[in-house]
Structure 1
């Protein structure tokens, strides 16, 4: 389950931000997760709760913001929505689609005290 290591990475980002910005408690964490990121959202929620125990984010609420999958079709030279890796272009049916978004996970925002 790689979500555990992802949650540990989120905690590291939180702790680094707390050191540099001087906050003591995290109330809410917003994560942007794209559909092509390979992150199981429910597993991420579980791992987040486990990893945040005994940290400055021990009571933090996790909000997951889903970002859309986007790609560039080389055949029809268009930006298109992408629902899966290696899927066909919804406009022309070509499989020459390069993913340009929706394959990332990032900490978007923290609500802190």
Structure 2
């Protein structure tokens, strides 16, 4: 379950930024996670309490914006929604595409005190 290591990485980012801001804790953490990032959201929710225990994020409200997958077909230039990495273009059935959105995994904002 790699979600635990991801959650621990998020804690590290939050601790570093909180220290830089001269704050003691985080009230809100906002994240953007793409549907195609390979994150199981229920697993992330499951490991979150363990990962944030005794850290600046322990009492923080967690807000996640889910980014829908989007691709551009390199053969016919069609933009289309994507729920899985290996979906073909709905117009020409080509598998040659550029994934433009949906693989994000970022901490967007922290509200610290």
TM-score (norm 2): 0.91
Q: Report how far residue 98 of structure 1 moved.
A: 2.0
Partner deviation per Cα, 1:30-78 (whole Å, 9 max, x = no partner) = 1211110010111111222111111111111211110111112111123
Aligned counterpart, 2:36: 36
Gap runs ≥5 in structure 1: none
After TM superposition, the structure 1 = structure 2 runs for residues 95-110 of structure 1, keeping only pairs within 5 Å, are 95-110=95-110
Is this contact kept in 1: 2:72–2:99, CA < 8 A? yes
Q: Report how far residue 92 of structure 1 moved.
A: 2.5
> Structure 2 CA distance, aligned partners of 1:38 and 1:65?
15
Q: Report how far residue 26 of structure 1 moved.
A: 0.7
> Structure 1 CA distance, aligned partners of 2:91 and 2:26?
44
Per the alignment, in what secondary structure is the counterpart of residue 32 of structure 2? Answer: strand
TM-score (norm 1): 0.91
Aligned counterpart, 2:53: 53
Aligned counterpart, 1:14: 14
CA RMSD after TM alignment: 1.3
Off by >4 Å, runs of 4+ in structure 1: none
